[in-house]
Structure 1
């Protein structure tokens, strides 16, 4: 008998699946959308190095998260609506 675990026998971890979905979604974004998301991520990560109150830092993080979500949803909607014709 072999004690070696086969790669197909181990289920993928949820974090790996989530990361794969994020990379797949990021690959579909336009360059301008990627730049905005990178900037928002940078601002969130750089905020602790500047003297801001905790509430201001949390506000920045929440607003950046919401803006990132809106950009992602708009990108998804614009990609889906490319094949849909609006009646009018």
Structure 2
């Protein structure tokens, strides 16, 4: 299945309370976007991340980012998206 491009119009401003989501670059800032949404985002945003980035991209980002919950990392290591 081909992944879609991240549509920033679907990002909840409450999830990105400390930054303007419109200023985020979906490739350069993908680690920040992935972690923020998987740790604090809405169900719709999580679905958006899962349809935009591959499971390997998600797991790689979670593994290298400090402060990610073990529960979130273990979930994405064991499920198929």
The TM-score range, normalised by the shorter chain, is: under 0.3
Highest RCO, 1 vs 2 (Cα 8 Å, sep ≥ 6): 2
Please report the TM-score for the alignment, with normalisation by the length of structure 2: 0.28
Please report the TM-score for the alignment, with normalisation by the length of structure 1: 0.26
In our comparison, the structure showing a higher alpha carbon Rg is: 1
User: Which structure is higher in helix share?
Assistant: 1
